[in-house]
Structure 1
């Protein structure tokens, strides 16, 4: 098990290095001067040159790359060109709403998707199964921004249950503000969880060891939740970890629609302002979240299925 963990950690480090390098070179290949963009057209050449020197942008590209990696290893994310503040301090303020939004969306998806998947699998091709598949297909076909607007129109403006934009202070206020955005993001995940769990559970319930358990007189509840779910949930967890990158990308749209002051909306703002340091930091941070979730999924997969760690 220790060897397996070390292999996954090494792979995660390589992935993060590749991501950071790719983001760095792509941003520096984009035409234009971020310093002049931040200072405005009226800034003198002397001022522009001084700011570029202070930020190290006047050095050769490879020297900038080496400094970028060295600072990243030491946890220094640099200084925002557009906001003239520490990137770490800015992200410290904008990261909590985004992380809470991601966790909230995952929670909603699991609480709704898992029961629907089990219900559908236990009654395949029945009225409930057909209804669940029809509804999930309809939801999956909706664009996220349109679904968010419809939810805001109905639950926010018509019923007045939740705010349609902004971010309130305090735990209760934050949950109220993030309910509609989280539900918007979670709807697509509900579909994936329901469909994946249904398919896997039907397959497992038809396997030989389940028939053997039935022949020994085990109750259906014990068979489903004690034996079948353990095997059916592994592919579902893997799919969820893969979709985390989709969720992170979805925050860009959702936070813009609901005006949530998170990293997604900050990324859009930084791209338009050509804020290299901020875009690099957000991209690397997103990569860390995805790699960490993938690593945790691999460990959970190995814990649930010992054959995984034995084969590697």
Structure 2
């Protein structure tokens, strides 16, 4: 199967998953405790005229399937509804906060890769030695540390104690915002670096034990060349870990943004759940679903670049 067929098949599968999950996101309105109209009213007084206007606005008297199709049509047109809490268009609220969450996720992923991958390679090359045991211990510690707990520790030590970083806020300009996002990104990167370390070390150890590595060394190839071959062949499990890292960071931003008082999607989700702002919660759930599906699609494409057999349907190349 060529590139066109591979991308078409992966994209179709992703679209089907997103469509299925969109039905679940729409179902949040009916899964919320209490009556639907009371959920949509939120903290507003429930007068007869308000309830009648609400039922007409959200077409609550229509069948559920019709309501879902109408909601999905609005989503495809970019109409995500209006916030119950603020009265603002949901799309505008998401557009204002999305860039900050994406920058934080990318920053954390970069820090995790810069820390985890070299340590994983070091552990594989020094297998069984003291440095390898130290690397493995660091990976276990990183995986065991919740992001919000790491964030609180970083705030106490580096913001309140040493005063090297700001306690909260977003900063001004690109450099200022990046500086304010450093501690949150480190909090996100701690566990992610541990995962990348464990996956990259295990994959490289397995490859270094393969027969082709022994043959390459016997032919007199230099150590860097042999290591390059082994690292390329260990990319698939590392890419799997990278996909898990990015999706995990998208979920981890919820607590980290609240810890550092960052106005991103995570803090918006917490506020919306607290005030039962269902349209915003629905839009956030759908947006996170789309982002995670996009990450998984990119990982699938990266698989095919690292190993052409994936693109060819798993057969021999």
Q: TM-score scaled to structure 2, two decimals?
A: 0.93
1:135-146 alignment runs, 5 A limit: 135-146=138-149
Alignment of 1:53 with 2:56, yes or no, is: yes
Once the two structures are superposed, residues 126-169 of structure 1 have per-residue CA deviations (whole angstroms, 9 ceiling, x without a partner) of 11111111122123222222211111111111111111222222
Correspondence for 1:104 among 83, 107, 131: 107
**What is the SS of the residue equivalent to 1:311?**
coil
Correspondence for 1:276 among 268, 275, 278: 278
1:197-236 alignment runs, 5 A limit: 197-225=200-228, 227-236=229-238
TM superposition shift of 1:198: 0.5
Partner of 1:305 in structure 2? 307
Q: TM-score scaled to structure 1, two decimals?
A: 0.94
Correspondence for 1:126 among 122, 126, 129: 129
1:20/1:280 contact within 8 Å kept: no
TM superposition shift of 1:58: 4.7
Partner of 2:40 in structure 1? 35
Structure 2 unaligned segments of length 5 or more: list them. Answer: none
1:113-262 alignment runs, 5 A limit: 113-225=116-228, 227-262=229-264
Correspondence for 1:296 among 265, 284, 298: 298
Give distance in 2, aligned partners of 1:246 and 1:280.
20
Give distance in 2, aligned partners of 1:94 and 1:294.
23
Give distance in 2, aligned partners of 1:53 and 1:96.
34
Give the alignment's Cα RMSD to 1 decimal. Answer: 1.5
- Relative to structure 2, which stretch is displaced further, 190-199 or 272-281? 272-281
TM superposition shift of 1:302: 0.6
Runs of 4+ in 1 over 3 A off after TM superposition: 55-60
**What is the SS of the residue equivalent to 2:27?**
helix
- Relative to structure 2, which stretch is displaced further, 259-268 or 206-215? 206-215
Structure 1 unaligned segments of length 5 or more: list them. Answer: none
Alignment of 1:82 with 2:88, yes or no, is: no
Partner of 2:267 in structure 1? 265
TM superposition shift of 1:35: 3.2
1:164/1:180 contact within 8 Å kept: no
Give distance in 2, aligned partners of 1:236 and 1:57.
47
- Relative to structure 2, which stretch is displaced further, 44-53 or 125-134? 44-53
1:34/1:273 contact within 8 Å kept: no
Give distance in 2, aligned partners of 1:245 and 1:153.
27
1:35/1:52 contact within 8 Å kept: no
